[in-house]
Amino acid sequence: MLLDRVQRLFPIVSDPYRVLSEGLEISEEQVRQRIGLLKQNRVIRQISAIFNTGALGYRSSLVAMAVPQALLESAAQVINAYPGVSHNYLRPGSFNMWFTIAVPPGRELDAAVCELSSRAGGLPTLLLPAVKKYKLAVVLDVLKEGDWNQTGEALEFPPTESDTKFRPTPANIAVVKCVQEDLPLEPRPFGVWAESLKMGEPELIAILSDWVRRGIMRRFAAILNHREVGFRANGMVVWNCPLDRIDVIGAIVASYPEVSHCYSRPAYKDWPYNLYAMVHGRTRKECESTAQRLAEATGLCSFRILFSTREYKKIRLKLFWDE
């Protein structure tokens, strides 16, 4: 239950481990020790702020590139070298290299992708930014079936968009660069961060709470290693959905707990898919079963599910990097 709780929302308070211990019948110190052990065993990757990059002025997209077998390694090196690329996978099909890219304020997304394509060998590329986001919350159901209902806690996910903008002052940027790192495993962790930022702990907590409220920060939470908690398979399911139904169907797909991300994206002549969902499971067969249930629930029975065959890059995106 602790692992489920910290990946949904880590308390942004002076004594977060005491708050987490409530209802778990363990002490504040035991909570901290257990989290330390989960980190040591690589179950928890880190506990940090998860930002809405769009609210911070970044522009991002999924990109698909058609890379000949002979150029896979060199193309991957070019793409991975850009600090705004956080994920890069090999998937089956003519468009076989799939990566996510974010560019900072003042940089054109199209230009950055064109530059990478040119440096990789002038390869065919599809720019697939999110037209609409239906779900964006990588929260894995680590509880046994039925356990979550016994906790009495609501299943709430953060908004996919923010209606306010981030003020990129030097002080605010310093806070972002600090809190996107792993939270110190100390009794008063926000106080440690506040000291490094030369501000008071109440001020930092107030800033972070305000950013969550305004949607600038999606949530402050633990990021898990999927494989270490048993979710060893994930697949990208794509459909060609009628535009007049896409919002309704997107909402249906997003309602499934096995789905962590759901977007509508532009379609192309060579790639006619406009609805995407990432599904997670303990096995590939579970992912395939979920995709079939989604197809039946939506009436879109023609779909493709793409499994990654190689991982070239997978990191947390670090915002406000030095160019």
**Tokens 């030097």 identify what position?**
170
* SS3 call for 74: helix
Catalytic residues: 87
- Which of 101, 69, 60 lies closest to 313, judged by CA? 101
136 vs 316: CA distance, rounded Å: 15
**Tokens 């900072």 identify what position?**
104
Residue type at 167 in one-letter notation = R
How far are the Cα atoms of 29, 43, 111, 135 from residue 76, in angstroms, in the given order? 44, 27, 18, 28
Query: Cα 213 vs. chain centroid, distance in angstroms?
Result: 19
- Which of 3, 8, 58, 6 lies closest to 218, judged by CA? 8
- Which of 39, 43, 35, 58 lies closest to 318, judged by CA? 58
Residue type at 295 in one-letter notation = A
